[in-house]
Homo-oligomer: A and B are copies of this chain.
Amino acid sequence: MRVLMIGDIVGDAGRSALQDHLPRLKRTHRPDVILVNGENAADGRGITRTIAREFFGSGVDCITLGNHAWDRREIFDFIDDEPRLVRPANYPEGTPGNGFARLALPNGELTVINLMGRTFLSTLDCPFRKADELLAEVKGPVLIDFHGETTSEKQALAWYLDGRVSAVIGTHTHVQTADERILPGGTAFLSDVGMTGPYDAVLGMEKELVIKRFLTQLPVRFEVGEGRTQLNGVLLELDPSSGGARSIKRIRIDDDEPWFE
């Protein structure tokens, strides 16, 4: 089972970059399933129904989210109708939407779970225990998008779940890490998959604005950056029966790393 996961799509630039590269990524890697993190798809903050449909129309099978899930209030109007749009599962009981999706694929079922870290983020339910709870009811390959700020929380969760899930792939920092590996128990891990969108920007946002906020400590409204783009993702090969990971490979496409193999 070949899984292509693409990191936080930021604004128009990110969606363009996805459209630019997705056909070739499909041809080259022939993924069985395509996942994207969409929490920043609408001008950098949240996602709309139109954008979600655009992603699904392009061949995306599942959209995960994160702390920015709720930035566009219209999400409350459609998240309950869209089982392939997944918000962090460790929001408290009663939160709209689903925390995981079961994707039926030709060669089996893949469960995609979204969890969010708590360090320097929201005070949600414990992601470790929420994973235990969800995994008690799931069979087959499981991929976790762990949306978190700190490397310690991400590594800790991956080790905690090693041998129990196919992969723990981090999102949220918007920077791809170079620590891809398969843990001894068979779980693929990458601290962060990185983002997709403006390349000459700060996490996808106009760099002058971000610098201004750091310098002045005054409120500055961020805008999505312009110009050159990047795409960051990861390609996983999972054993459809055991759920174990066979391989993990980072994907980075930008002007400094123009293509890959």
Contacts and interface: CB of A to CB of B under 8 A. Distances in A.
A216 interface: yes
Contacts of A120: 120, 149
A259 to B, nearest CB: 15
Nearest to A118: B123
Interface string A181-220: 1101000000110100000101100010011001111110
Interface string A108-147: 0000000000111011111011000000000000000000
A128 B178 contact: no
Contact of A159 (B194, B211, B219): B211
B70 A152 contact: no
B175 A215 contact: no
A174 interface: yes
A150 interface: yes
A166 interface: no
Interface string A236-250: 000000000000001
A217 B96 CA distance: 12
A178 B155 contact: no
A169 to B, nearest CB: 14
A163 to B, nearest CB: 13
Given A119-B123, A194-B178, A216-B95, A207 B155 contact: yes
6 contacts: A91-B218, A92-B217, A119-B123, A123-B126, A152-B210, A177-B178
